[in-house]
Amino acid sequence: MSLSSRRTFLQLATVGGLMMMQGGTARASQTGGSVPFRFRSGGDPVIGALHLPAGQPKAAVVLCGAWTAVKEQAAGLYARALAERGYAALAFDHRYFGESGGNPRQLESPQAKVEDVRSAVTALLAHQATRGLPVMGVGLCAGGGYMAKAVAQDDRIRAFAGVAGAYSDAAELRARMPDLDRLIARGVAARERFERTGTSETIPAVGLSGGDVAMPFAEAHDYYGRRAAHSNYVNGFAVQSYAEVLSWDAIGYAPAIRVPVLVVHSNQAAMPHLARRFLAEVRGRKSELWLTSTNHVDFYDNPKLIAAAANAIAAHFSASWP
């Protein structure tokens, strides 16, 4: 199927997702609920929730979310939406966050999150509810870039979908961010201090007052601080994260991906030009769905966007695996 045909197919599929909406709220579909899902990654315990469909799952899906996020936030909403569409979908707290183990707390480590995804795949393939099923990957925001590396390096993941993905380009970031080296050096110093003393320097992940905040954006604060506030979420960001996230290059993994890829994005979300570049770099089967959002974070909890994206993802996965 040509790229233009795939666009048409996904646009038609999206209509089905939007028809599930009543008064701006997703109509509840019958699912099998969710069950606790535990595994280990890097020697640390990882805690998740496996969202199950009412009947036999079509496939298993592992989700990877945004910076500092936990399973009760966007990943959990998308997991539930995919369960409504027939998939067994796993949302989990990555190491260093939420209920999962690991130190330092609130460490945003791209490589650790990639390793967590691969450990989750191993666990899904062994679990009684998902054993023998094909495994698919979904990445949200930064998780889109993290999942891209996992998919490029792990052929057990049979298809990939990125929603409002942050497909970072390290070279472009360096050109646009004059204080990049200072922040990376600060991260390295914080990491070395933690290794010497066991003490981790942490700053707020989100905030409205400016200053020393990892994500000083009003839309991020409105989401994490209000709409998605949860007892499992900590508004914190380990400073040593800067040493990893600011040198992370997700877009470079696109050419190595050999499974079908779907990019769901909007021109109002972050870095739409990088989403287009990422898709252009993918060598295999690929498709795209462009929606209209208020902003980037709108994709995290807007029921209409979640329904449209989940419907397209379900159609993409069904077409990717017999």
Other beta carbons within 10 Å of 144: 30
- Predicted pLDDT at 208: 86
pLDDT along the chain (322 residues), means of 10: 37 36 36 93 98 97 98 98 98 98 98 98 98 98 98 98 97 94 98 98 91 93 95 98 97 97 98 98 97 98 98 97 76
DSSP 8-class letter at 322:
-
**Which tokens in the block code for residue 172?**
């472009």
Closest by Cα among 159, 166, 160 to 140: 166
- Predicted pLDDT at 209: 73
Exposure letters 163-188 (e unless 16+ CB within 10 A, then b): bbbbbbbeeeeeeeeeebeeebebbe
Burial class (CB in 10 A: 0-12, 13-18, 19+), 128: exposed
How many residues are given for the chain? 322
In order, the DSSP letters of 188-242 are HHHHHHHHHHS---EE-SB-SS-SS-SB--HHHHHIIIIIT--TT----EEGGGH
Distances (CA, A) of 66 to 25, 139, 143, 166: 23, 8, 5, 9
- Domain limits of the chain? 3-170+250-320
Q: What's the CATH number for 3-170+250-320?
A: 3.40.50.1820
Task: Note if the bond before 104 is cis, omega within 30 degrees.
Answer: yes
Q: Are strands 157-163 and 135-140 parallel, antiparallel or unpaired?
A: parallel
DSSP 8-class letter at 29:
P
Phi, psi of 85 (to 5 degrees): -105, 15
Cβ atoms of 191 and 243 within 8 Å: the answer is: yes
- Predicted pLDDT at 20: 34
- Predicted pLDDT at 3: 39
Cβ atoms of 108 and 68 within 8 Å: the answer is: yes
- Predicted pLDDT at 2: 38
Compute the Cα dihedral for 6, 9, 11, 16 and give only its sign: negative
Cβ atoms of 237 and 202 within 8 Å: the answer is: yes
Compute the Cα dihedral for 267, 271, 277, 282 and give only its sign: negative
d(CA 167, CA 146): 9
